[in-house]
Amino acid sequence: MTAQTPATAVKLPRQTRGKRPHFFDDPALDQMMTFLLELTTEVSVMRERLDTVERLLERDGKVTRETIEAYIPDADIEKVRAAWRDAYVKRVFRMHPAG
Amino acid sequence: MSAQPIVDIETLYRPTHDERARQQFVSTLRKHAIVDMRADLKRDWESRVEPALQARGEAPADWRGIERAMEAEPSFRFYSSVRYNVQEMTFLSVQEPVERALDGMIDVAREAAKRNPAGGSLRLTPNFEVPRYVSSLDIHLIPGSFHSEYTQDDVAQGAVVAFGSKVFGGQHPFRKKAGAVAESVGHWLHLKYPDFKPRRILDLGTCSGKNLFPYAEVFPGAELYGIDAGAPLLRFGHAQAEAAGLPVHFSQQNAESLDFPDGHFDLIVSSFFFHEIPLKSTHKILRECHRLLARGGMMVQMELPNEAAVSAYENFFWNWDTGNNAEPFYTTFRSQDPIALSTAAGFAAEQSFAHLIPDWVTFGEERYRRFVKGELPAPAHGSGGWFVFGARKT
C-alpha cells in the first residue's frame, strides 16, 4: 500500500515482523495456545452478547440486531460483566499445583 | 463568528457490540497475565524452584540464572505464552474498527492541521528518515510499528496505538487512566519544587501526546511541545489536542538532533522511551536534553527501574520483554546506571536523581504530600509507582 491507496481500502498488517518466539518444546503447542486463547475470547464475546439479549428482553420484551448493536451497558452492568469475565478467566486458566 | 470546533477523533471509532466485548475480554486476559499469572510465577519460583536449586547448592547468581532455571517450568511457559498472545490480540482487536473509521479520522486530522483552532501546530518532515530502531521491527508487537503509513495523511497507526493502549491497560490497576505518568511527574514536581514554573515543556517520543497533555493542567500557561518519529501518531495526537482546546506543538524529529535553540526548555520529559532505543542514541539524546534546557531547568525521564535498583528476580521479570515483546534494547538500557547516564550528558552528579515516585491518581494527594516530605515510600514500579531518572541543569 502507498500514499495512493484510498483510505477506505487500507488493510493493516495483522502479523508482526520477525521470528515469533516459542515457549514450548513442540511449537505445535504454541500454536495450540493461540487457538485456545482465541476460542476462550470468542466464548466470552458470545456470553456478553447473550447477556445483552437477556437485558434487552427484560427491558423491552423484544430484541432486534439493531438494539443489540446499539446497546451500551451502564457502569453498574459493566461492573457485573467485568466481575464475570474475571471469574471466567480464573476458572478457565486454573493452573495445576506445581510439583 | 467563531470557527467550528474540531470533532473529537475518537468518536469516529465505533467498534461493534462483539468487537467491544472482544476488547473487554482481551483487557481482562492481559490483566490476568500481568497480575495473576505473574504472581503465580513468582510463587512457583520462591516456593519450589529456588529452594530445590538451593538444596543442590546451585542457587543462581543473577537474573540470567533464574531465567535458565525457569525456562522449562510450566508456570513460565504458560505465563509467557498468554502474555505474548494477549499482546498480539490487543492490536488485532482494534485494527478492524480503525480501518472502518480511517477515512473519517484522516479528514478530522487534516482539518485540525489546517485550522489549528486551539493554537497548536503540526510540523511534519517530508521524506523524514525514520530511525532504524523504529522502522526495522514491530515494537511491542504492533504490526506496522509507530511509523508506517498506508495512505495519504495516514493516522491509522496513531489510532491503533491509542485504542490498543486502552485495551492493554483497560483492566490494569495502575494503567487505566491515559496520561497517568505525566500526571504523576507533574504533581510530583509541583509539590517538590513549588517555585518551579516551566515556560516550555518538551516530551520526547511523545507518540500522540497522552503523557504530555496533563502538564497543561499542572503548569497552566506552559507551552507544550511533543516530538516523535511517527507521523501517524503525531497527526492523531494533534487532532486530539486541537479538539480538546489544548495548544500543543507537535513535530516530527529525531530526538538525537532536534531543531530547537539552546536553552529553549525548562522541562524535558519522556515516558517508556529510552528502553526502546540503542544506548548510543540514549547518550546523544541526553546530551540534547542538556543543550536544550535553560539554567534551572529539569529533565524527568520515566523509565523502567535499572538492574541495580531491583532484585535478581525482578530483573528476570522485567527483561522478559527484550526478546518477547520486540524491545531489543531493553536489557542493555536497564543495565546502565541512570545517574551515570545523566552525568555523561553534562549534568552534575549532585543534581541528578533516580528513584520511584507514587502514581498520582491511585496514591492520593494527602499521601503524596507525605511522600514528598519523606514520610512515606513510593510503591514499586508498575505496582502503584513509577521509576524516574533525571537531573536539574545548573
- Give the domain CATH number at B45: 3.40.50.150
Which residue in A12, A34, A96 is closest to B150 by CB distance? A12
For chain B, the average pLDDT equals 95
Q: Cβ contacts (< 8 Å) between A49 and chain B: which residues? A: 17-18, 21
Side chain identity, residue A91: R
Nearest Cα residue to B82 out of A85, A48, A40, A14: A40
Please indicate if any CB of chain A lies within 8 Å of the CB of B151.
Answer: yes
Q: Which cell goes with B287?
A: 546530551
Nearest Cα residue to B208 out of B182, B235, B183: B235
Q: Cβ contacts (< 8 Å) between B106 and chain A: which residues? A: 7
**Alpha carbon distance B170, B266 (integer Å):** 33
What pLDDT digit, counting tens, does each position of A69-95 carry?
999 999 999 999 999 999 999 999 998
Q: Which cell goes with A54?
A: 437477556
Please indicate if any CB of chain A lies within 8 Å of the CB of B128.
Answer: no
Give pLDDT, residue A98. Answer: 73
The Cα of A14 is separated from the nearest Cα of chain B by a number of Å equal to: 6
State the 10-residue block means of pLDDT for chain B, 394 residues long: 82 97 97 95 96 96 96 96 98 98 98 97 96 92 95 98 93 77 97 97 97 97 97 98 97 98 98 96 98 98 96 95 91 96 98 97 95 96 94 97
Residue range(s) defining the domain that contains residue B394: 1-394
Q: Cβ contacts (< 8 Å) between A8 and chain B: which residues? A: 102-103
Please indicate if any CB of chain B lies within 8 Å of the CB of A24.
Answer: yes
**For B370, how many CA atoms within 13 A lie in the half-sphere containing its CB?**
9
Please indicate if any CB of chain B lies within 8 Å of the CB of A6.
Answer: yes
Side chain identity, residue A69: E
Give pLDDT, residue B4. Answer: 83
Q: Which cell goes with B245?
A: 482546546
Give pLDDT, residue B310. Answer: 93
Please indicate if any CB of chain B lies within 8 Å of the CB of A93.
Answer: yes
Which residue in A18, A49, A82 is closest to B17 by CB distance? A49
Q: Does residue A40 carry a pLDDT above 50?
A: yes
H or E segment and range at residue B298? strand B293-303
Residue A11 burial (CB count, 10 A): 11
The DSSP secondary-structure symbol of A6 reads: -
Instruction: Please state the rounded mean pLDDT for residues A33-53.
Output: 98
Nearest-by-CA chain B residue for A12? B95
Give pLDDT, residue B2. Answer: 56
ipTM, interface predicted TM-score of the complex: 0.96
Residues in chain B: 394
Instruction: Please state the rounded mean pLDDT for residues A28-45.
Output: 98
The Cα of A69 is separated from the nearest Cα of chain B by a number of Å equal to: 5
Please indicate if any CB of chain B lies within 8 Å of the CB of A83.
Answer: no
**Alpha carbon distance B117, B121 (integer Å):** 10
- Asked if B335 and B341 touch (Cβ cutoff 8 Å), the reply is no
Give pLDDT, residue B1. Answer: 44
Nearest Cα residue to B248 out of B235, B264, B266: B235
Give pLDDT, residue A96. Answer: 85
Residues in chain A: 99
Please indicate if any CB of chain B lies within 8 Å of the CB of A69.
Answer: yes
Which residue in B18, B74, B75 is closest to A49 by CB distance? B18
Q: Does residue A1 carry a pLDDT above 80?
A: no
Q: Does residue A27 carry a pLDDT above 90?
A: yes
Side chain identity, residue B173: P
Q: Tally the domains of chain B.
A: 1
**Alpha carbon distance B343, B361 (integer Å):** 32
Give pLDDT, residue A2. Answer: 67
- Spell out the domain ranges in chain A: 23-92
